[in-house]
Structure 1
Amino acid sequence: MSTTKTVPEFLTAFLRARCPDIDSVGPDDDLVDTGVLNSMHFVELLYLIEAELGTEISLDEVSTDDFRTVSRITRRFFTPGHGLGATAKE
């Protein structure tokens, strides 16, 4: 990830590159319901997050809701206290 971009900016750029026909991706837009995050993009995003974190993500530890919005992805994987292994879940 570029050090000049925030996590939400990086995620938005990733999604927009895969869905060039969308006008924008807001931090709270539902990526699943709008079709921005399809199964192929989900796998790519999962690998990208794993690479950034330097750890494998078990699908047993996550849910579809963790990937619904850019805000949720950022909070779940990149915010201390909410990341992998955290006991508190929304």
Structure 2
Amino acid sequence: MSAGMQAVREFILGRNPELAELADDMDLIDSRAINSLAFVEFIFLLEELTGEATDPEDLDLDDFRTLGALEARFFRKEAGR
């Protein structure tokens, strides 16, 4: 697991102490692990971790649904650089 994905896991678990662990396929939005109050802060975290600005117009909620989707959208492209 990349350092970026580890930071994402820590962010989510830190805001959801009732969660013991996060499955890669857990729906983070439907489960409210990422809620509307933390979403903006979460976007800032992703920008910090990836070094890229995120245009709100280009956001697709499916990119945030699971840890796997987050990794594919924000972190896998880093490996190809």
TM-score scaled to structure 1, two decimals?
Answer: 0.75
Q: Which has the higher contact order (CA 8 A, sep 6+)?
A: 2
The equivalent position to 1:23 in structure 2, one of 17, 20, 24, is 20
Deviating above 4 A after TM superposition, structure 1's stretches of 4 or more consecutive aligned residues are: none
- Give the Cα separation in 1 of the matches to 2:2 and 2:72: 16
Show the counterpart of 2:50.
Answer: 53
- Give the Cα separation in 1 of the matches to 2:41 and 2:64: 12
Question: Do 2:28 and 2:66's aligned partners in 1 also have CA atoms closer than 8 Å?
Answer: yes
5+ long unaligned stretches in structure 2? none
- Between structure 1 and structure 2, the one with the greater Rg is 1
Between structures 1 and 2, the one with greater helix share: 2
How much is the aligned-residue C-alpha RMSD, in angstroms?
Answer: 2.0
Task: Describe the shift of the 1:29–1:78 C-alpha distance in structure 2 as closer, same or farther (beyond 3 A).
Answer: same
5+ long unaligned stretches in structure 1? 82-90
Aligned length: 78
